[in-house]
């Protein structure tokens, strides 16, 4: 079973940033309003995600770290509202690292901790924690040389973690996010009143004045957000934030449609800055093609592409570009 978990880990956990994504999604699913992330060594030596969500009862801690155990499929596969549902993340991470899971539910008299050390499980035993859940991951891949060698520098891994936090922070503006550690300068996104405030926190105050507002609809597919002016472009595509039904995605077709929308107004070697939200009937899109990848499968990709390119071109034309 340990080997199966390690193989599953290859699917779910590519690098420290993918661990952070899984842990943040769990915290969001738990209804957290504050999430703190701590990292060291680009997440290779330490990753810790603390939340103030619903917590895990003592009796469910062992299940939480067991493969294919999820508390999130009550409504069946058709009705997935939560971010995670495969029940693979915690056992996978715990098969290639030292994982500690501490949690306390609202009415509980104590918090409990369970450890998963390269597949070996210990606990639960009582521990101190006032509320919510703390997941700590140490020495990720340190005993798995085949995976360790694919990791980049501490600095590059730390940047990838920040990127994951920024994307999920844009998806969840009302949650407070804080990320700290010896490998970075601290970042805090205070709980925002609305999306506009969160966008300003994540992309900087100057972005709003250097962007056009997008609000378009085609066949019940809605596109909203902000598209940076061509003069506000960048040398890389790190500042492109795309969401489908509220979930951050990094889909080739969408990225290429974004480029297409700018084709007439921006130099080819530049990258637009944009925050765009697509909203459509969940039956017309599959956002769960792969557990870790942010790929999307649209029933009608041509419609989506046309909507994106058309909305951007029209917005630029209207502002005289």
Q: Please identify, using beta-carbon distances, which residue of 64 and 278 lies nearer to ligand ADP.
A: 64
The two structure tokens encoding residue 197? 């405030």
Q: Does 86 participate in binding ligand ADP (rule CB under 6 A)?
A: yes
Residue 321 binds to ligand ADP (criterion: CB under 6 A): no
Nearer to ligand ADP, 27 or 170 (CB): 27
> If binding is defined by CB under 5 A, does position 84 make contact with Mg ion?
yes
Contact of 101 with 56, CB cutoff 8 Å: yes
Does 95 sit near ligand ADP (CB under 6 A)? no
Q: Would the CA dihedral through 32, 198, 40, 116 be positive or negative? A: positive
82 to 4, 72, 73, 85, 174: CA distances (angstroms): 25, 7, 9, 7, 17
Shortest distance, position 209 Cβ to ligand ADP, whole Å: 38
- Judged by beta carbon, residue 102 or residue 271, the one nearer ligand ADP is 102
Q: In the numeric block, which tokens belong to residue 101?
A: 């899971």
Q: Which is nearer to ligand ADP, 26 or 239 (CB)?
A: 26
With respect to ligand ADP, which residue has the nearer C-beta, 245 or 288? 288
Binders in 130-149 for ligand ADP, by CB under 6 A: 133
- Binding at 90: pick from Mg ion, ligand ADP, none (beta carbon under 5-8 Å per type): ligand ADP
Binding range to ligand ADP, per CB under 6 A, among 22-30, 123-131, 145-153, 171-179: 22-30
Angle formed at CA 99 by CA 93 and CA 102, multiple of 5 degrees: 125
Sheet with strand 274-279: strands edge to edge: 211-218, 221-228, 274-279, 240-244, 247-249
Can you read off the two tokens belonging to residue 102?
Answer: 């501490």
What is the SS3 assignment for 178? strand
**Six-digit token pair at 274?**
């944009």
Among 12, 89, 275, 304, binds Mg ion (CB under 5 A): 89
Interaction of residue 158 with ligand ADP, rule CB under 6 A: no
Instruction: Write the DSSP assignment of 20-46 as a string of letters.
Output: HHHHHHHHHHTT-SEEEEEEEGGGTSE
Q: Which residue's beta carbon is nearest to the bound ligand ADP?
A: 84
Distances (CA, A) of 61 to 102, 200, 279: 9, 38, 35
Closest CB to ligand ADP among residues 47, 221: 47
Sole window of 80-88, 110-118, 121-129, 191-199 interacting with ligand ADP (rule: CB under 6 A): 80-88
Helix axes 252-262, 301-318, angle to 10 degrees: 30
Rule CB under 6 A: say whether 30 interacts with ligand ADP. yes
Residues that bind ligand ADP (CB under 6 A): 22, 26-27, 30, 51, 53-56, 64, 70-72, 84-90, 133
């Amino acid at each position: 079973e340990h080997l199966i978990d390690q193989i599953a880990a290859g699917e779910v956990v590519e690098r420290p940033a993918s661990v952070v994504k899984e842990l943040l999604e769990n915290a969001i699913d738990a209804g957290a309003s504050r999430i703190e992330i701590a990292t060291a060594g680009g997440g290779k030596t330490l990753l810790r995600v603390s939340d103030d969500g619903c917590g895990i009862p003592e009796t469910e801690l062992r299940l939480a770290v067991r493969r294919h155990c999820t508390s999130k499929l009550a409504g069946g596969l058709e009705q997935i509202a939560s971010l995670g549902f495969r029940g693979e993340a915690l056992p996978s991470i715990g098969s290639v690292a030292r994982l500690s899971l501490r949690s306390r539910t609202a009415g509980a008299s104590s918090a409990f901790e369970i450890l998963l050390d390269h597949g070996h499980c210990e606990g639960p035993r009582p521990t101190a924690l006032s509320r919510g859940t703390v997941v700590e991951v140490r020495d990720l891949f340190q005993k798995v040389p085949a995976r360790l060698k694919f990791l980049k520098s501490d600095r590059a891994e730390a940047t990838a973690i920040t990127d994951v936090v920024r994307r999920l922070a844009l998806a969840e503006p009302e949650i407070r996010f804080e990320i700290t550690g010896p490998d970075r300068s601290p970042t805090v996104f205070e709980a925002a009143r609305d999306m506009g405030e969160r966008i300003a926190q994540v992309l900087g105050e100057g972005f709003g004045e250097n962007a056009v507002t997008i609000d378009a609809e085609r066949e019940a597919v809605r596109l909203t957000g902000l598209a940076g002016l061509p003069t506000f472009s960048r040398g890389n595509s790190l500042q492109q934030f795309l969401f489908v039904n509220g979930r951050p995605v990094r889909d080739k077709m969408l990225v290429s449609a974004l480029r297409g929308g700018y084709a007439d107004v921006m130099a080819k070697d530049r990258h637009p800055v944009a925050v765009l939200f697509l909203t459509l009937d969940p039956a017309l899109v599959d956002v769960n093609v792969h557990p870790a990848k942010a790929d999307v499968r649209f029933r009608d990709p041509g419609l989506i592409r046309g909507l994106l390119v058309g909305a951007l071109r029209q917005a630029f034309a209207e502002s005289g570009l």
